[in-house]
């Protein structure tokens, strides 16, 4: 299986998590962490449910992966997420030393992996990670649009 097909397979798993968030009235963002072609962590946004500003899918997935592996350095892992990480989450990706991030939809208002900022590939930081974007972006954007449309009506 080539990289593009593998990324789509993983992104479909992250979209399952995003749909779970939607069903719980959370902004539909889902994330998974993969190590050696195995999903080791899954999460979705829980800010409203937990009343916690840190309840982003990426942060929760990093936390779960670190606990599962018993270490904070996730240099052999990839994070797959349905929306471009914000500055907080991109900083967490760098600090966790992830190898790469793969995301679906870009976030032109808050994205920190190339849209507004590029924290993940910033040469001034002590770690950089590979960024892959636009994997099943249409599916993610549609889910987000459906969610916000339902909130307005």
Largest CA distance in the chain: 46
Neighbours of 130 (CB within 10 A): 12
Q: Return d(Cα 81, Cα 33) in angstroms, integer.
A: 9
Q: Return d(Cα 124, Cα 11) in angstroms, integer.
A: 30
Looking at 17, 26, 58, 84, which residue is catalytic?
A: 58
Q: Name the nearest CA neighbour of 33 among 8, 4, 55, 63.
A: 63
Count of H helices and E strands in the chain? 5, 5
Q: Name the nearest CA neighbour of 57 among 6, 22, 7.
A: 22
Is there a catalytic annotation at residue 58? Answer: yes
Q: Give the catalytic positions in this structure.
A: 58
């Amino acid at each position: 299986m080539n990289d593009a097909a593998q990324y789509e397979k993983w992104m479909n798993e992250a979209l399952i998590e995003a749909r779970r968030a939607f069903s719980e009235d959370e902004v539909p963002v889902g994330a998974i962490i993969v190590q050696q072609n195995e999903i080791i962590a899954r999460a979705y946004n829980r800010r409203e449910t937990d009343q916690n500003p840190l309840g982003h899918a990426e942060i929760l997935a990093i936390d779960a992966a670190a606990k599962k592996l018993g270490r904070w350095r996730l240099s052999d892992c990839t994070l797959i997420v349905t929306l471009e990480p914000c500055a907080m989450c991109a900083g967490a990706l760098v600090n966790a030393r992830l190898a790469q991030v793969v995301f679906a939809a870009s976030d032109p208002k808050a994205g920190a992996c190339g849209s507004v900022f590029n924290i993940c590939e910033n040469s001034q930081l002590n770690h950089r990670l590979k960024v892959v974007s636009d994997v099943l972006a249409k599916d993610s954007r549609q889910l987000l649009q459906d969610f916000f449309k339902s909130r307005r009506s």
